[in-house]
Amino acid sequence: MKKIIVFGPGPGFKGGIANFSTSLAKAFAGLNDTETHLVSWIKQYPFFIPHNVIDDKSQTDLLEKNGVTVSYTLNYNRFTTWRKTYQTIVEINPDFVVFQWSNPIQAFPLAYLIRRLKENTTIRVIVDLHFGNHKEYANLVKRLTIYTIQYADAYVVHSYKTAFEMKELFPETTFNLMEGDNCPDNKGKPLLKLYHPIYDMYTPDPHFDVEAQKEQLHLRKYTFLFFGFILKYKGLHNAIEAFAQLAKTRDDISLLIVGESSWQSPKQRKKKLSRWVSRRIRRWMMSAKEDEGNYRPLDLIEKFDIQDRVTVINEFISNEDVHKYFQVSNAIVLFYDQAATGSGVESIACNFKVPILATHMGHFPETVKEGVTGYLAKPNNLTSMVEAMQNVIEQPISPEDIEDLSKSRNWTNYASTICEMANSIKKL
C-alpha cells in the first residue's frame, strides 16, 4: 500500500490553500491501495502577523468518511512543534510528501522540514507551487522561496508562467518539464505542469430559491460577483470602477462583493505592538504600492455613488453558504492587478458553471477560453473591462461549454499524475 502525506492547512482553516490541501488529500485517498495523511498547521504565521485564518463558521467535515488521517501539529511560533511535525512525518514513513508552498512568510518552518527530510530520510519530497514570484510581495521573496524549496525532489506547477518563473529562480538547475501523463526521462529535476483542479466541495443546491435570495440581497437582473479574500492583486478596485462605468448605461445590473478584508481582524487591530511590527514586516517584504494595509477598495462605492447597486458581505463565508452567492450570479469578476497563478475562486465558479471575467495576464489566458468559458480584458484598461462585462450580458456563455472544458481538470487525474511522477523519482 502506498503511503502519502499532504502537508498544508487542513479543513479547520479558511482560504484557498486549505481547500486545496483538503481536496488533494481526499483525491489521494480515493485512489486504489493508498493510505493518506494530511499533516497541518496549528498556527500558520508568526505571532506578530494579524491573520485570523481559523474557520469557525463551517460545520461540515470535508474529510468525513474519506479515510484521511488529519494531524494538526505545526505551530510557527513553537520550535518544538517543528521537530514534532518532522517526527510525525518520519513515523508515518510515506512514499512521498506533497508540501503546499503559498506564502513566503512560512519559509522557515517549511524549509526546516524539507531539509531535514532530505538529509535524514529517503522520503520523496514534492512541492506543489501556488506561486513562483509571489503575487502580493516584492522584496526578499525570491530568496525566501529559493531557501525553502531548493532541496525538493520535484515540483508541481499550475501554469506555464510558474514553470518559467522556476527556471528564473534556479537558472543553474536543469528541469524536466512534464505535462499530463508524460513521465520524466530522468534528465533533470521533474517539473510537472498540471492545472488548478475544479473544486467539487461546493455544489449547487437544486432546491435553492434563487429569486428569493436575489430579492433579499437587493440584486437586479444581472449580477457580477467578486468572491474571496479582498487582496490588492485581485483587483476589486478595477471591478468596482468598471462596474460603475457600466452602471451609467444600464439599470439592470448589480455588483455583489462577498469576502473578508485582508489584515482586518478586529481582535488583532487592538494589539498595538502586533500591528506596529506587522506593518514594518510588510514594508520590509513589499513595495509601497503593494502594502495591503492601505488598501481600501470598498471606499470607491461611495466615491462613484453606486451604493444602491452594490451589495457587500464583508466577512468570511462558511462552506455551507458558498453556493448562495454563486447561484445568484451571472459572472465572476477577476480583474487582477498583477499576474497570478491558479485561482481557487475561478475553480469554484467553473463548478457552478458561472462565466469568468478576468484580465489577460498570468495563468488566465491558459484557463479562460474567450467566448466559451468567459471573457478576457486587457490589464489596466478600464474600457476593456467594461466591454468584457457587457459581453457576458449580450453574448451569454453556455453553462454546458464551461462544464465540458472543466471535466479534464479534475482531482483524480491531478492526484494520479503526481503519483506517477513520484514513482519515477529514485530513492537515494
Q: What's the per-residue H, E or C state across 187-225?
A: CCEEEEECCCCCCCCCCCCCCCCHHHHHHHCCCCCEEEE
Report yes or no on 21 lying in a domain: yes
Q: If pLDDT is split at 50, 70 and 90, which confidence band does 270 have?
A: very low
The enclosing domain of 228 has a CATH number of 3.40.50.2000
Q: Examine the domain organization and report whether 131 and 49 are in the same domain.
A: yes
State residue 122's pLDDT score.
96
Q: Examine the domain organization and report whether 248 and 178 are in the same domain.
A: no
Segment 289-307 shows an average pLDDT of 85
Share of the chain above pLDDT 90, in %: 71
- Please determine, for residue 135, whether its predicted confidence score (pLDDT) is greater than 60: no
Report yes or no on 275 lying in a domain: no
Query: Ramachandran region of residue 125, left (φ > 0), alpha (ψ -120 to 50) or beta?
Result: beta
Segment 289-298 shows an average pLDDT of 74
Report yes or no on 269 lying in a domain: no
**SS3 state at 422:** helix
Q: Examine the domain organization and report whether 138 and 109 are in the same domain.
A: yes
Q: Which domain holds residue 248?
A: 210-261+298-406
Q: If pLDDT is split at 50, 70 and 90, which confidence band does 266 have?
A: very low
- Please determine, for residue 385, whether its predicted confidence score (pLDDT) is greater than 60: yes
Q: Which of 151, 60, 157 is nearest to 366 (CA)?
A: 157
Specify the number of domains making up the chain: 2
Q: If pLDDT is split at 50, 70 and 90, which confidence band does 179 have?
A: confident
Task: Give the integer Cα–Cα distance in Å for 244 and 2.
Answer: 54
Give per-residue pLDDT as tens, 198-248: 998 889 999 999 999 999 999 999 999 999 999 898 999 999 999 999 999
State residue 132's pLDDT score.
54
Report yes or no on 280 lying in a domain: no
| Grid cell in block for residue 228 | 474571496
Residues 337-369, buried b or exposed e (16+ Cβ, 10 A)? bbbbbbbbbbbbbbbbbbbbbbbbbbbbbebbb
Q: Examine the domain organization and report whether 138 and 223 are in the same domain.
A: no
Q: Examine the domain organization and report whether 384 and 245 are in the same domain.
A: yes
Q: Examine the domain organization and report whether 183 and 314 are in the same domain.
A: no
Report yes or no on 271 lying in a domain: no
State residue 279's pLDDT score.
59
State residue 275's pLDDT score.
56
Report yes or no on 338 lying in a domain: yes
Contact 175, 188 (CB under 8 A): yes
Report yes or no on 93 lying in a domain: yes
Q: Examine the domain organization and report whether 157 and 250 are in the same domain.
A: no
Q: If pLDDT is split at 50, 70 and 90, which confidence band does 260 have?
A: very high
State residue 65's pLDDT score.
76
Q: Examine the domain organization and report whether 221 and 357 are in the same domain.
A: yes
φ, ψ (nearest 5 deg) of residue 331: -165, 150
- Please determine, for residue 259, whether its predicted confidence score (pLDDT) is greater than 50: yes
Q: Examine the domain organization and report whether 242 and 186 are in the same domain.
A: no
Q: If pLDDT is split at 50, 70 and 90, which confidence band does 60 have?
A: confident
- Please determine, for residue 187, whether its predicted confidence score (pLDDT) is greater than 90: no
Q: Examine the domain organization and report whether 325 and 346 are in the same domain.
A: yes
Q: Examine the domain organization and report whether 323 and 416 are in the same domain.
A: no
Give per-residue pLDDT as tens, 319-374: 999 999 999 999 999 999 886 667 889 999 999 999 999 999 988 998 999 999 99
State residue 339's pLDDT score.
66
Bridge partners, 19 (sequence order): none
Q: Examine the domain organization and report whether 55 and 176 are in the same domain.
A: yes
Bridge partners, 68 (sequence order): 36
Contact 59, 67 (CB under 8 A): no
Report yes or no on 185 lying in a domain: yes
- Please determine, for residue 290, whether its predicted confidence score (pLDDT) is greater than 90: no
